[in-house]
Structure 1
Amino acid sequence: MSFVFPPPATVSVPVVGKAERFPVHRVYCVGRNYEEHAKEMGFTGREPPFFFLKPADAVVVVEAGQTGSILYPSLTKNLHHEIELVVAIGTGGKNIKAADAHKHIYGYAVGLDMTRRDLQGEMKKQGRPWCIGKAFDQSAPIGPITPAANAGDIANAELYLQVGGQDRQRSNVAKLIWNIAETIEHLSAAWELQPGDLIYTGTPEGVGAVVAGDTMVGEVKGLGTLTVRVV
């Protein structure tokens, strides 16, 4: 088979303890999935889960022990950080029941859902899609994937994000409105999940702006740290 131009390389994420890498298929994100974050965004309660996508090539892979970098994106004056637990799907499926969700999980990672908040807000006001606020280049940094068997008690893991050494976000995965299994059940009812899918499960309260020169350090306990500098 020939192509009119060389196809892009497959985006892939390193796997802790393995030489093989995890090839990325799609990137799904869950909106407003921590109650306190929902409140700071002007909402309350346990609303039905909703999702948005980022392109696979928005993923910025940060190798273990390294400091990654992202460019401050165009068109925005209000770039926000959102620390998240990322679920890596190893076995696909449709209409997966929550009780069976664990069978489809390959592993977990630490991720950042970077957001052009001003552009997102303007699109919301106009009732238009807000892909421009979420699905831009380099908007999905991620650290290495830890296989599920080695990830510990991920359902009760603490997570945090610091900027310049100061706490911005700090919470626990147990505070997810829709837990990991429920998220997979809802998501797989709308799309057939595939091996290589990444699910950014939502961010806790404390989201805020970063500027060029800031260094973000995030962690989900048991999965190591993710360090990203804005340049």
Structure 2
Amino acid sequence: MNKVNNIYCVGRNYAAHAKELQNEVPTSPMLFSKPTHALIEAAGQEISLPSNRGSIHFETEVVIRIAKPYETGIKVDDIVESIAIGIDFTLRDVQSELKKKGHPWLLAKGFPNSAIVSKFIPFPGIEEMKQNDFSLIKNEEKVQQGNITNMIFDLQTIIDFTALNFGLGEGDLIFTGTPEGVGPVNDNDHLTLLWGNSILGECFIKFD
């Protein structure tokens, strides 16, 4: 995997997902970040997750890799180099407690191996992306499926907002939000990440 500088994540970018967790639908992009220590590629191996911090939920997302430093007015097709399918793992019980206290989500979102990505493929362009769904199969059952057409904030809006507020440059990744259908993972689960009908990554979950 090429060097990654920053990992940005968009929360609540699909209305049905916001509603399934009883959250308000945002009126502007809601971003958080993960440390680079959270990143791991799903290449058929076992991936370790903590067993002693409550329920861990999968959130399947399209991940975009930025090719060059952001400039005002730059278009998606000119700044996105490649895409992957990713999982934003969340310590759901921990996150619920953090929300109650009004604290940041980092403890629930930033633990090691909490940012899984498949292999990256060349960016196919916005129109082709709209023709393909992304999905997660857990133990031979499709548990999540989404399409970028259902995003509240499209890729251009996400890129512009991220760059304006945090900066955006070569090697940065953006997890663009998850559709409805999130749920828990368990020890020995087999996860498969698909773009259309193509398998881009898979792994087995191992609880420590």
So what's the TM-score if we normalise by structure 2?
0.91
Specify which of 137, 142, 159 is matched with residue 117 of structure 2: 142
SS in 1 for 2:97: helix
- Are 2:35 and 1:55 aligned? yes
- Using a 3 Å threshold, how does the CA distance of structure 1 residues 175 and 211 change in structure 2: closer, same or farther? same
Q: What residue is the counterpart of 1:109 in the other structure?
A: 84
Specify which of 73, 79, 95 is matched with residue 56 of structure 2: 79
Residues 84 and 118 of structure 2 are in contact (CA less than 8 Å); yes or no, is this contact kept in structure 1? yes
Specify which of 9, 15, 21 is matched with residue 35 of structure 1: 15
Residues 152 and 222 of structure 1 are in contact (CA less than 8 Å); yes or no, is this contact kept in structure 2? no
Aligned 1:171-190 pairs, distance under 5 A: 171-190=146-165
- Are 2:195 and 1:195 aligned? no
Residues 54 and 94 of structure 2 are in contact (CA less than 8 Å); yes or no, is this contact kept in structure 1? no
SS in 2 for 1:153: helix
Shift of 1:163: 1.2
Residues 157 and 174 of structure 1 are in contact (CA less than 8 Å); yes or no, is this contact kept in structure 2? no
Task: Report the Cα distance in structure 2 between the residues aligned to 1:159 and 1:70, rounded to whole angstroms.
Answer: 21
Larger-gyration structure (1/2): 1
- The structure 1 segments of at least 4 consecutive aligned residues displaced by more than 4 Å after TM superposition are 149-152
- Are 2:190 and 1:215 aligned? yes
SS in 2 for 1:71: strand
Task: Report the Cα distance in structure 2 between the residues aligned to 1:53 and 1:45, rounded to whole angstroms.
Answer: 19
Residues 92 and 195 of structure 1 are in contact (CA less than 8 Å); yes or no, is this contact kept in structure 2? yes
Task: Report the Cα distance in structure 1 between the residues aligned to 2:165 and 2:125, rounded to whole angstroms.
Answer: 29
SS in 2 for 1:77: coil
Task: Report the Cα distance in structure 2 between the residues aligned to 1:23 and 1:141, rounded to whole angstroms.
Answer: 15
Task: Report the Cα distance in structure 1 between the residues aligned to 2:199 and 2:82, rounded to whole angstroms.
Answer: 13
Task: Report the Cα distance in structure 2 between the residues aligned to 1:108 and 1:152, rounded to whole angstroms.
Answer: 14
Q: What residue is the counterpart of 2:46 in the other structure?
A: 69
Shift of 1:111: 0.8
Quote the RMSD (CA, aligned, Å): 2.0
Residues 12 and 25 of structure 2 are in contact (CA less than 8 Å); yes or no, is this contact kept in structure 1? no
Higher mean displacement: 70-79 or 29-38: 70-79
Task: Report the Cα distance in structure 1 between the residues aligned to 2:127 and 2:198, rounded to whole angstroms.
Answer: 9
- Using a 3 Å threshold, how does the CA distance of structure 1 residues 42 and 49 change in structure 2: closer, same or farther? same
Aligned length: 206
Please list the CA deviations of residues 19-63 of structure 1 after superposition, one character each: whole Å capped at 9, or x if unmatched: xxx211111000011110011121344521111111112111234
Task: Report the Cα distance in structure 2 between the residues aligned to 1:149 and 1:77, rounded to whole angstroms.
Answer: 38
- Using a 3 Å threshold, how does the CA distance of structure 1 residues 177 and 152 change in structure 2: closer, same or farther? closer
SS in 1 for 2:49: coil
Residues 118 and 193 of structure 2 are in contact (CA less than 8 Å); yes or no, is this contact kept in structure 1? no
Q: Could you list the runs of 5+ residues in structure 2 that have no partner in the other structure?
A: none
Q: Choose between structure 1 and 2: higher strand proportion.
A: 2
Shift of 1:154: 1.3
Shift of 1:149: 4.6
Task: Report the Cα distance in structure 1 between the residues aligned to 2:40 and 2:46, rounded to whole angstroms.
Answer: 8
